[in-house]
Structure 1
Amino acid sequence: MAFNTQRVNCGLLNIQSARNKTSEIRDTINDRQLDLYAVTETWLTDLDSAAMKEMTPVTHSFVHNPRSIGRGGGVGMFVSNSVKKVKKCKTPIYNSFELLQVECEIGGNKLTIVSIYRPPAASVSLFIDEFELYLETIDMVSTNIIVWGDFNLWLDDTKARYVQLFIETIAMFNLINIVDKPTSMCGHIIDLVLVDTSSDLVRDLYVDGVCSLSPVHKLVSFKVITFRSTRNMDCDTLLLLIYDMIMEQQSDLCCHSSRKRSECHECLYTIYNSVMRVEHEKMCPLTSKKIVVKEDSPWFNDEIRRAKNDKKKKERLWRRQQTDQCRVAYTQARNYEKKLISRRKRDFYQGKIEQAGPNMHKLYKVLDNLTGNKKKHKLPEGYSDSELAN
């Protein structure tokens, strides 16, 4: 029986171009403490290393699949360093949708996370056929699974034939959509979170349309990080308590005669599990923990701090009152902070480049810091350990 339980904060959003929203993306991850943050329509390519470095907090890594042909599209995911055994999986290429499949381990359990983006112009019937083919490739028996993303299907229109076909298709794989509120500004459910019908993986799902980085989509999130605090656990006391309670309960719960009771391993195992679960819950209850992430931002100054505080103040006011006046005030504060950060960063790194002057070593050090490039020192191949050491 496993008692270690880990919960992670997850978020999903169609970002509609990540290049010009790098600071806001990073702030969203930090402010909401997101461990897994899936973004669709990233519009990124493999050459956008500077944007990826800028929007990824130091506590996270970023994996993505850019659109292979043409502009736009692309799916990516920010993954916290607290998530273990992260692996990006190789997947087939489909004509009607883009995807990113990531496997990881959470709380000792294997989890498969699939991010989907279906362009609005893609054929719905073709998408349903191809999506069914894709789901057949996933091992849903030995792993927990979450399929989320921008499907661009009005799932609230239950009378539409394509919606019925889609629901029937995912039902064949024991999947169900748990988003029950509009995720687009036009009032429809187009961003979905699919989980196993018998799963309790996702809890406290919330659709937030107040402060979204997208003009069309709302942020879908489910929270909170929880863990078991073991500070109050006394192993010796726990073992004695379990022994005493097993002796007390055995006569009531064991269905065997007193003569065979000492040989009744199944009943003892059942009683042990029951007692252990109850007492462990008392000593080590699930607790919530808020983690404050401090970014290394040498360009950050008091002016930006004041602008950031003003933006958060207006955000809280908008959440309370939900008026157009509050929305405009928040938008102005957010845009001012964005311009201030952009100008400050530009001036800071321009000064660094000017300080480097003709020194190419210093110049490339500044550029590597901007783009996130790290030099990898590789040892020569084809040598034994002793030859390489010599």
Structure 2
Amino acid sequence: MKESLLYEVVPEYTVMISGIEWLFIATNAHVLGVIYRPPSGPLELFYDAFNAILEDLSTTKKQVVVMGDININLLQVSSLNTEFLNTVHVNGFTNLIDIPTRITSHSETLLDLCLTNCEKEDTMAGVFTSDISDHLPLFCFIPRLIEHKTHALCST
């Protein structure tokens, strides 16, 4: 993190237990989170904990971005995926990634996500094509809102 950026870790959202690794930080205007669920991590524990965090974050006035690898193929149609995506939407979030993030010679899966409560028109997110990992890297850009001062024009 940039040294000049003032932030603090949000302890109630930061979890490091078997099957769940999450880190959330907050600034004056944003909450940023990174999440990881290993492929063998318990789904029910993940869903319950993640739902609780999204419900809590849904009440904040801050811009929220949560990115990470959940190792759940969101391209696959299943009742669990439908329930997960419904939880995301009900709490006012949108997943900005809708293309495969892990591509092998025999499969294409969407295992990584970028959730935000920002308006979709105000964000830019996507997937880089790179072979630095077995997952493609994600990016999310939310332009900083700059307050423009208006000056009265004086004429004589």
Larger Rg: 1
- TM-score bracket, normalised by the shorter chain, equals 0.7 to 0.9
Structure 2 partner of 1:182: 100
Structure 2 partner of 1:169: 87
Q: Which runs of 5+ in 1 are unaligned?
A: 1-78, 244-390
Aligned equivalents of 1:141, 1:226: Cα separation in 2: 18
Question: Relative to 1, partners in 2 of residues 1:98 and 1:201: Cα closer, same or farther, differing over 3 Å?
Answer: farther
Structure with the largest fraction of strand: 2
Please, which of 49, 57, 67 is the counterpart of residue 138 of structure 1? 57
Structure 1 partner of 2:129: 209
Are the counterparts in 1 of residues 63 and 118 from structure 2 also a CA contact under 8 Å? no
Structure with the largest fraction of helix: 1
Are the counterparts in 1 of residues 72 and 110 from structure 2 also a CA contact under 8 Å? yes
Please, which of 46, 51, 60 is the counterpart of residue 127 of structure 1? 46
Are the counterparts in 1 of residues 98 and 110 from structure 2 also a CA contact under 8 Å? yes
User: What amino acid maps onto 1:185 in structure 2?
Assistant: I
Aligned equivalents of 1:223, 1:134: Cα separation in 2: 22
User: What amino acid maps onto 2:123 in structure 1?
Assistant: V
Question: Relative to 1, partners in 2 of residues 1:168 and 1:111: Cα closer, same or farther, differing over 3 Å?
Answer: same
Are the counterparts in 2 of residues 148 and 194 from structure 1 also a CA contact under 8 Å? yes
Matched, 1:99 2:22: yes
| Count of aligned positions | 149
Q: Deviations over 1:284-330 (max 9, x none)?
A: xxxxxxxxxxxxxxxxxxxxxxxxxxxxxxxxxxxxxxxxxxxxxxx
Report the TM-score when normalising by structure 1: 0.34
Aligned equivalents of 2:121, 2:7: Cα separation in 1: 22
Question: Relative to 1, partners in 2 of residues 1:197 and 1:127: Cα closer, same or farther, differing over 3 Å?
Answer: same
Q: Deviations over 1:265-295 (max 9, x none)?
A: xxxxxxxxxxxxxxxxxxxxxxxxxxxxxxx
User: What amino acid maps onto 2:33 in structure 1?
Assistant: V
Shift, 1:80, TM fit: 2.5
Structure 2 partner of 1:156: 75
Matched, 1:221 2:139: yes
Q: Which runs of 5+ in 2 are unaligned?
A: none
Q: Deviations over 1:9-41 (max 9, x none)?
A: xxxxxxxxxxxxxxxxxxxxxxxxxxxxxxxxx
Percent identical residues:
21
Aligned equivalents of 1:200, 1:240: Cα separation in 2: 33
Aligned equivalents of 1:130, 1:226: Cα separation in 2: 30
User: What amino acid maps onto 2:2 in structure 1?
Assistant: S
Are the counterparts in 2 of residues 96 and 130 from structure 1 also a CA contact under 8 Å? no
Report the TM-score when normalising by structure 2: 0.78
Shift, 1:225, TM fit: 7.1
Structure 2 partner of 1:378: none
